């Protein structure tokens, strides 16, 4: 699908966005191994979170969807069934990596695979701790999907995580639920903590001491009612659009503002963005609030070290803002970007250059000088949802009509993206 985008005169109004992708995956997976019924409101509409539901159904879990409400009848820690065929994680790294923690403990073998992009994403990072716990896993070329997981009774471990990855942390903590005793994960930097919060909400015993998270095995998890906050990583595209287009003023309602995710707001604030949070509340352990954003001249900035991990999903759209900022943007310590849905260092730089924007690839990041203008261009999502949406934002500030090819990729996290954008973007006519 191609999407044509005209330059915008303003971005304005009040919008609501789909539920957070990270939280939706976790609520669904924990609900499946809890006892009793869980009702999840505002479940992510993205294809990734629906891949998780498809996998859970194949494991014998009753899942009903009505709009954005999902009801899951939990089967308890030992109630999953052997699937009739391979599980399909689609494009979703979260599904394959986090669910593998549960699959590793099952008394039956499973094969889990996904699309072409997923088949290139490294799985050694979850295989190693799961094998230490007693599972046997065979991967293509020793590290890529499909994974053949031979479940086994698991031993608890104390795992020092070599990479900053909330998916790997979650995988090990999920596996730890099935092991007798305490399993811990120590992170190199604090990553998003939705798993810790969600497990505690469902009744697990979770202890957090600085960067070490410990979960007690064999908990009694109880199904419950939950509402997913709107996704801050999806909001990032609208924040960026409003910051970029003169005269804009936009409210984004009910956004998840968990401190392990909201570094984005602090970083943008440091660049000079006029952003205000109102109606802050706590919902099932997660902070939620409305965000008001107004067009602002931006100074530019440097993203490195721990900040890179905290902003990892937002770097494509921050790169777009960087080009329009006064001093530009430099990103370091972001080699992980090369193993996301696409090599996001390469795909971001490629689309920026198509727009006539100077940008340099670094081995672990990128350098984008400031004060640049976006030329209208033929852009490509490269099949990556965040690239499609980041360059839709750039196109709003271009000097003519642009086209994003492969625009359907946005559906992976945000199927309503194009419609929401056309609702709040007023165009020059």
Using CB under 6 A as the binding rule, whether residue 95 contacts ligand S3P is answered as: no
Residue 417 DSSP SS3: helix
Catalytic residue among 48, 231, 290, 313: 313
Q: How far is CA 167 from CA 100, 114, 171, in A?
A: 10, 16, 6
CB of 170 to ligand S3P, least distance (A): 6
91 contacts 99 by C-beta, under 8 angstroms: no
* The one among 103, 312, 379, 396 contacting ligand S3P by CB under 6 A: 312
* The one among 24, 45, 94, 248 contacting ligand S3P by CB under 6 A: 94
- Please give the distance of CA 203 from its chain centroid, rounded to a whole number: 24
CB of 413 to ligand S3P, least distance (A): 8
Residue 55 DSSP SS3: helix
CA pair distance 391, 51, nearest whole angstrom: 25
CB of 309 to ligand S3P, least distance (A): 7
Residue 192 phi, psi dihedral angles, 5° rounding? -50, 135
How many CA atoms, within 13 angstroms, populate the side-chain half-sphere of residue 119?
7
Per-position x/- string for 110-149, each x denoting binding to ligand S3P as judged by CB under 6 A, each - no binding: ----------------------------------------
* Residues in the chain, overall count: 429
User: Quick one: 170 or 214, whose CB is closer to ligand S3P?
Assistant: 170
Using CB under 6 A as the binding rule, whether residue 313 contacts ligand S3P is answered as: yes
DSSP string across 34-72: SEEEEEEES---SHHHHHHHHHHHHTT-EEEEETTEEEE
Residue with tokens 């490294």: 122
223 contacts 72 by C-beta, under 8 angstroms: yes
CB of 101 to ligand S3P, least distance (A): 12
Sheet with 109-113: strands ordered across: 87-88, 109-113, 144-150, 136-140
Q: Could you say which residues in the range 189-208 bind ligand S3P, by CB under 6 A? A: 192
DSSP run (H or E) holding 16:
strand 8-16
* The one among 3, 10, 45, 167 contacting ligand S3P by CB under 6 A: 167
* The one among 147, 166, 291, 366 contacting ligand S3P by CB under 6 A: 166
CB of 94 to ligand S3P, least distance (A): 5
Report the 10 Å Cβ neighbour count for 282.
10
**Catalytic residue status for 306:** no
Using CB under 6 A as the binding rule, whether residue 165 contacts ligand S3P is answered as: yes
Smallest CA-to-CA distance from 53 within 63, 66, 44, 68 is with 63
Per-position x/- string for 18-37, each x denoting binding to ligand S3P as judged by CB under 6 A, each - no binding: ----x---------------
Using CB under 6 A as the binding rule, whether residue 344 contacts ligand S3P is answered as: no
Span of 129-137, 164-172, 200-208, 238-246 interacting with ligand S3P by CB under 6 A: 164-172
Enumerate binding residues for ligand S3P (CB under 6 A).
22, 94, 165-167, 170, 192, 312-313
Q: Which residues are catalytic?
A: 313
């Amino acid at each position: 699908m191609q999407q044509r985008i005209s330059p915008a005169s303003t971005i304005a109004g009040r919008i609501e966005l789909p539920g957070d992708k990270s939280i939706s995956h976790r609520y669904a997976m924990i609900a499946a191994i809890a006892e009793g019924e869980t009702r999840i409101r505002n479940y992510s509409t993205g294809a990734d979170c629906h891949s998780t539901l498809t996998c859970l159904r194949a494991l014998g879990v009753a899942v009903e969807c009505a709009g954005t409400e999902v009801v899951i009848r939990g089967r308890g820690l030992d109630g999953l069934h052997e699937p009739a065929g391979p599980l399909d994680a689609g494009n979703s790294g979260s599904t394959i990596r986090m669910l593998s923690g549960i699959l590793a403990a099952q008394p039956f073998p499973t094969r889990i695979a996904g699309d072409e992009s997923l088949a290139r994403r490294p799985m050694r990072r979850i295989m190693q701790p799961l094998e230490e716990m007693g599972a046997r896993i065979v991967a293509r070329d020793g590290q890529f999907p499909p994974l053949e997981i031979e479940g086994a009774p698991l031993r608890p471990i104390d795992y020092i995580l070599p990479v900053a990855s909330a998916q790997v942390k979650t995988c090990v903590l999920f596996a730890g639920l099935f092991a007798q005793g305490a399993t811990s994960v120590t992170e190199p930097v604090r990553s998003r903590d939705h798993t810790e919060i969600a497990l505690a909400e469902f009744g697990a015993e979770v202890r957090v001491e600085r960067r070490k998270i410990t979960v007690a095995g064999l908990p009694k998890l109880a199904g419950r009612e939950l509402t997913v906050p709107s996704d801050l990583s999806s909001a990032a595209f609208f924040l960026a659009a409003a910051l970029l287009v003169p005269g804009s003023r936009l409210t984004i309602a009910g956004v998840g503002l968990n401190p392990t995710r909201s570094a984005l707001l602090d970083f943008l604030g440091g660049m000079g963005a006029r952003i205000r949070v109102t109606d802050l509340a706590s919902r099932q352990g997660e902070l939620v609030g409305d965000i008001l954003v107004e067009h602002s001249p931006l100074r530019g900035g440097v993203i490195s070290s721990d900040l890179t991990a905290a902003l990892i999903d937002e770097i494509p759209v921050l790169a777009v803002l960087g080009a329009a900022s006064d001093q530009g943007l430099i990103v370091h310590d972001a080699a992980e970007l090369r193993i996301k849905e696409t090599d996001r260092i390469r795909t971001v730089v490629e689309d920026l250059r198509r727009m006539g924007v100077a940008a340099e690839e670094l081995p672990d990041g990128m350098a984008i000088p400031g004060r640049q203008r976006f030329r209208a261009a033929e852009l490509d999502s490269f099949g990556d949802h965040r690239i499609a949406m980041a360059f839709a934002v750039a196109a709003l500030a271009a000097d003519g009509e642009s086209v994003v090819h492969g625009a359907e990729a946005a559906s992976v996290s945000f199927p309503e993206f194009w419609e929401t954008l056309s609702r709040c973007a007023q165009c020059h006519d």
